[in-house]
């Protein structure tokens, strides 16, 4: 029997939302621009306008997921 490549399993909606939600909060929380503003002011005016998710198979059992965000202020997080 020939060994073949296994195909990547599709993500469920729940997995996609969980991964994107966790990744989406990291660049915004670590932004030095937001640290200089009063608490809560930046969060009300900064919005994510575009989000894309890229999945890359790196081994038979591992897939990396990359989240790309663009805000209404032009910030891009990759």
Question: What's the confidence (pLDDT) of residue 14?
Answer: 78
Q: How confident is the model at residue 75 (pLDDT cuts 50, 70, 90)?
A: confident
Query: For residue 52, is it within any domain?
Result: yes
- Number of neighbours of residue 69 by Cβ within 10 angstroms: 19
Q: Could you write out the DSSP letters of every residue in the chain?
A: ----PPPPPPPPHHHHHHHHHHHHHHHHHT-HHHHTSPTTHHHHH--EEEEEEEEEE-SSS-EEEEEEEEETTS-EE-
Query: For residue 1, is it within any domain?
Result: no
Query: For residue 2, is it within any domain?
Result: no
Q: How confident is the model at residue 7 (pLDDT cuts 50, 70, 90)?
A: low
The string of pLDDT tens digits covering residues 16-74 is: 777 777 666 665 555 555 555 566 665 668 888 999 999 999 999 999 999 999 988 88
> What is the chain's alpha carbon radius of gyration, rounded to the nearest angstrom?
17
Query: For residue 3, is it within any domain?
Result: no
């Amino acid at each position: 029997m020939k060994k073949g490549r296994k195909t990547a399993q599709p993500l469920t909606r729940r997995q996609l939302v969980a991964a994107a939600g966790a990744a989406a909060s990291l660049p915004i929380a670590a932004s030095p621009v937001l640290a200089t503003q009063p608490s809560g002011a930046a969060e009300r005016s900064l919005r994510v306008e575009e989000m894309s998710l890229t999945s890359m198979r790196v081994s038979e059992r591992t897939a990396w997921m990359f989240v790309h965000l663009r805000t209404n202020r032009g910030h891009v997080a990759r």
